[in-house]
Chain A
Amino acid sequence: MLYHSIRDRLLVLRGASLGLGAAFVLVLAPTTALAQNEPPDPEFRTSYGEMTFPEQFPDGTAISLTQWSHFVPRYDEWFQEYAQQWGEAHNVEVTVNMINLADLTSTLSASIAAEEGATVFEMVAPPTAFIDGLQSLADVNQAAAEAFGERSGTCERSSYLPATDTWYGFCHGWVPDPGDYRRSLWDDAGFPEGPVTYQDLLEGGAKIFEDNGLPVAVGMSPEIDSEFYARALIWSYGGSIQDEDGNVTFDSPEVLEAVRFQKELFENAMTPEVFSWNAASNNQTFIGGRASYIQNSISFYRSAQESAPEIAADTGFRPGLQGPGGEVKMPSHVWFIDVIPSYVTDPDELAAAKKFMLDLENNYASASYYSKFYNFPAFPSRSEQLFAEDGWLSDDPWGAEPPDKLGLLRTAEEWTAWLGYPGYANPAISEVYESHLLSSMMADVARGEKTPEEAIADTNAEIEEIFAKWRDRGMIGSGGD
């Protein structure tokens, strides 16, 4: 039977199974550990909401996880240990395959086509085009909501498709994408708090470029960071690709203003190098001391702490930049979306995989901590130490100077959007993202290949076509019609 034992008690396992007395002590650990500087020991429960699981799975139960090699290596070390610990505690053989981020989609695609492969894939962007080949994880999402409470908006909208009422994934975490600036340069330029608005970015960035030759380093290349920057700019200017119901809204005055701004920014504060960047380029440029501003997650900062401490010390963070209307929206930089392909049919394997997902979320304080606060939990209640007023982000245990340098990330949920903002992610939104339409549009305008009006009209036509294609397949819409 799939979930054959119904138990309400909590069990805490560390290494091998422990007794109930020890479990009682460890269940209290999260509360007591709040005052300390490290996450509590892992806690493996036997029920989440209405889902219940056995303490031990039958002999021979095995799951395999395929996920990306994390940008913060310490996380991968922790995850491997955690996975083995979880496996030993549950009599499950756990295999973790860590692959290059760029290979995730092709690997999942090949596995679905071959009807063979890993039990769980951890995708970094909503895998909406794969929905037909994935299992519904409605039960896991419902159980998590019941057990953990409020879910972050960026995670919900990146794992649920309203058009088909499908929970195609379980998003266990996400990554904030702040603005990152060189404090000394911006201080000299007259912006001691760094750029607050996009207008500041233009004025201050141009002055720094003129005085020091150091450009604003936001990409306009076919890669994810450039796509995220384009979205942040458009959203903060009030534009969007679609509305909440999946109608295309791209050809708008707000988008036009955003594109015009980007052309002006390029002409005054940037160099052509941004047209050929890959996802690591802006990090490297910033760490190399050759950029005044980038938009990126904090993994570059953790690298800089070790390889370029003077740059790390001179780094400041902004919660995005305000558009003309004062609105600030930044994308999530990465989502951690677990999916289970349809070819996984063994009941014990399925149950073990689902329990692994829920247990990981339950212990997300450790995931956040060992990713050096790159990972944010889908359910904020699972990492209270991260958000607490005197918590990790306010007093960084990984050596940030000053210790509250990352403190602004406590409000990240407020200014973080998602790929389909203001609607849900869907296959059309994913195709627009994967085809690099927005970064290419920005590049065409900045290089003078097209006027902003032409570029938007052309891009809008392609977006409309993509939406029409997926709408015909029933994948677009709010689901209410």
Chain B
Amino acid sequence: MNAGPTGSDRAAPTRPDGALARLALALERPRVLGALMLAPAVLYVVAFVAVPFFIAIALSMSDATVGDPQIDTFVGLDNFIAVVSQSGFRLALRNSLLITTLTVLILLVLATTAVELLARDFRGKRLVQVLFMIPWAMPVSLSAITWLWVLDSQYSPIDWVLVQIGLLGPGGTFGPSWNLFYLGREGLAIASIVLVDVWRTLPLATIIVLAGRLSIPRERLEQAQLDGAGFFRILFRIIIPALAPVLTVAILFTALLVIGEMSTIALLTRGGPGHSTQILPFWAYLKGINSGDLGQGAAIALFLFPVLLAAAIVALRFAYRAGRD
């Protein structure tokens, strides 16, 4: 018969010995474990956000060039003062704000509409969801090149359709020319860029908003219906207020995405006609890399940072408070 352990056999709790045992003990402390879990994210932010950011600040206050990128001469705010006097910069600033604002406003409407569609059950919903995500999944350069063809000055399929239905061409509503020259006219060029940015970022905005929309209790919407509220009343009195925090986050994310993106402009218009579609990131690239003045390039790139930082803080605070309420 197997006797159970006697009191003398039971091991009394003792201090662990060996490195692994000590490590295990240390990991049981919440402060150590928490710091370790956070470390990769902190390292990432420091290496890929903080360091480049502070280098950019240092560059913007130096006379560094592409040939001599050393940050060894402090020039104060000279680069910021110099870029402000450039007509290309002023237009770039205007366009960056204009294009971002227009894109976000259109996104708000379209994302809210798309969410109302995707929140409902219907046949083929999975397929629609997949198709909806394609613009987000496509590389920016590839989508811009596709749009470049769609908006081509001579071979645009949109022009072809307009000609076929008699709206374009001699005697047409839109004038005698066979083409509208979407990228060659300032207003149409900006509209085209906004269109491409909306097309590209709509899936992201929609996914963010959809998550918020699905978190609204179904009973609350059904109760409103039972009380006789119509679609728009439910939308504006229940859904949109409930979505406010998520909409704020969606606005913030897409705005930051659009305002810092230069591929669309680089591939569609390169800032033309003249500088009328120039934006800050592309102007910074032209000045900093192509023209060789790293200091001015960094100054242009950083110009909107204080505004964006303030906007981001306000937006996140609003989202936090709205979510808490």
Q: Which residues of A contact B (CB under 8 A)?
A: 105-106, 108-109, 112-113, 128-134, 213, 220-223, 271-278, 281, 285, 288, 290, 427, 430-431, 434-436, 439-441, 443-444, 447, 449, 458, 462, 465, 469, 473
Contacts and interface: CB of A to CB of B under 8 A. Distances in A.
Interface stretch (B62-70, B238-246, B254-262): B62-70
A129 B291 contact: yes
17 contacts: A106-B289, A109-B69, A129-B292, A130-B65, A133-B67, A133-B68, A273-B154, A276-B273, A281-B153, A288-B154, A431-B291, A431-B292, A431-B293, A440-B88, A449-B274, A462-B87, A465-B82
B271 A436 contact: yes
Contacts of B276: 449
B323 to A, nearest CB: 42
A275 B185 contact: yes
A436 B282 CA distance: 12
Interface stretch (B6-14, B93-101, B176-184): B176-184
Given A271-B179, A273-B154, A222 B67 contact: no
Nearest to A428: B291
Which one of A106, A113, A272, A281 has the greatest number of beta carbons of chain B within 10 Å?
Answer: A272
Nearest to B186: A447
Contacts of B178: 213
Given A271-B177, A276-B183, A440-B274, A132 B68 contact: yes
B244 to A, nearest CB: 39
A272 to B, nearest CB: 4
A129 B154 contact: no
Contacts of A106: 289-290
B292 A427 contact: yes
Contact of A275 (B63, B273, B286): B273
B135 interface: no
Interface in B274-290: 274-276, 286-287, 289-290
Given A273-B181, A431-B293, A132 B67 contact: yes
Contacts of B153: 271-273, 276-277, 281
A266 to B, nearest CB: 11
A223 to B, nearest CB: 6
B248 interface: no
Contacts of B290: 105-106, 434-435
Contacts of A473: 63, 65
A271 B270 contact: no
A275 B184 contact: yes
B65 A105 contact: no
A105 B287 CA distance: 12
Interface in B127-161: 153-154
Nearest 6 pairs between A and B by C-beta?
Answer: A129-B292, A275-B273, A276-B183, A273-B153, A132-B67, A272-B184
Contacts of B273: 220-221, 272, 275-276, 443, 447
Contacts of A431: 287, 291-293
B88 A435 contact: yes
A3 to B, nearest CB: 27
Nearest to A115: B69
A276 B272 contact: yes
A112 B64 CA distance: 12
Nearest to B296: A469
A308 to B, nearest CB: 15
Contact of A430 (B82, B179, B292): B292
B85 interface: yes
Contact of A273 (B67, B184, B286): B184
Given A132-B68, A133-B68, A427-B292, A275 B88 contact: no
Interface residues of B, number: 39
Which one of B66, B86, B185 has the greatest number of beta carbons of chain A within 10 Å?
Answer: B66
B189 A276 contact: yes
Given A112-B67, A440-B275, A276 B181 contact: yes
Given A290-B154, A434-B286, A440 B272 contact: yes
A277 B274 CA distance: 11
Given A276-B153, A278-B270, A435-B88, A132 B289 contact: no
B269 interface: yes
Contacts of B291: 129, 430-431, 434-435
A276 B189 CA distance: 9
Given A129-B292, A277-B272, 7 more contacts: A109-B292, A112-B67, A271-B153, A290-B154, A434-B291, A440-B274, A462-B86
A139 B200 CA distance: 52
Contacts of A288: 154
A100 to B, nearest CB: 11
Contacts of B68: 132-133
B293 A129 contact: yes
Contacts of B287: 431, 435
Which one of B179, B182, B183, B184 has the greatest number of beta carbons of chain A within 10 Å?
Answer: B184
B179 A108 contact: no
Contacts of A128: 292
A285 B274 contact: no
Interface string B101-139: 000000000000000000000000000000000000000
Given A112-B66, A272-B181, A431-B292, A469 B272 contact: no
Contacts of B182: 276
B66 A108 contact: yes
B144 to A, nearest CB: 12
A62 B293 CA distance: 32
Contacts of A276: 153, 181-184, 189, 268-269, 272-273
A206 B184 CA distance: 20
A478 to B, nearest CB: 21
A430 B287 CA distance: 11
B277 to A, nearest CB: 9
A465 B287 CA distance: 14
Contact of A443 (B86, B268, B274): B274
A288 B85 CA distance: 41
A457 to B, nearest CB: 11
A290 B186 CA distance: 23
Contacts of A223: 270
Given A430-B291, A434-B290, A273 B179 contact: yes
B163 to A, nearest CB: 13
Given A273-B153, A273-B181, A276-B183, A443 B289 contact: no
